[in-house]
Amino acid sequence: MNELPTFNTAENGQTSFNWHERNRRRRTDRLFFCHLMEGTIADPVALQATAWRQELGLKGKIIANHISLVGLGDHGGLPDGLVELAHHIGSMIVAKPFDVSFDRLCAFGGGALVLRSSDGNPSLQEFWRNLTAVISDSPLKFFLTKSIEPHITLLRDKVGVPKIRERAINPISWTVRGFALVHSFIQEGRYDVPHHWPLTGQDDARPAM
Q: Where are the domains of the chain?
A: 27-207
In the beta sheet, which residues pair with residue 152? 115
83 in Cβ contact with 32 (< 8 Å): no
pTM beyond cutoff 0.85: no
In the beta sheet, which residues pair with residue 100? 174
Q: What are phi and psi of 68, to 5 degrees?
A: -70, 135
Residue 26 has a pLDDT of 79
Residue 160 has a pLDDT of 95
64 in Cβ contact with 209 (< 8 Å): no
Q: Please list the rounded mean pLDDT of every run of 10 residues in the chain (209 residues).
A: 44 42 68 95 96 96 93 91 95 95 93 94 95 93 83 95 95 97 87 94 56
Residue 201 has a pLDDT of 77
CATH T-level topology, domain 27-207 = Cyclic Phosphodiesterase; Chain: A, (3.90.1140)
Residue 121 has a pLDDT of 94
Residue 24 has a pLDDT of 53
Residue 25 has a pLDDT of 63
Residue 89 has a pLDDT of 95
Residue 98 has a pLDDT of 96
Q: What are phi and psi of 23, to 5 degrees?
A: -60, 125
Residue 205 has a pLDDT of 54
Amino acid at 189: G
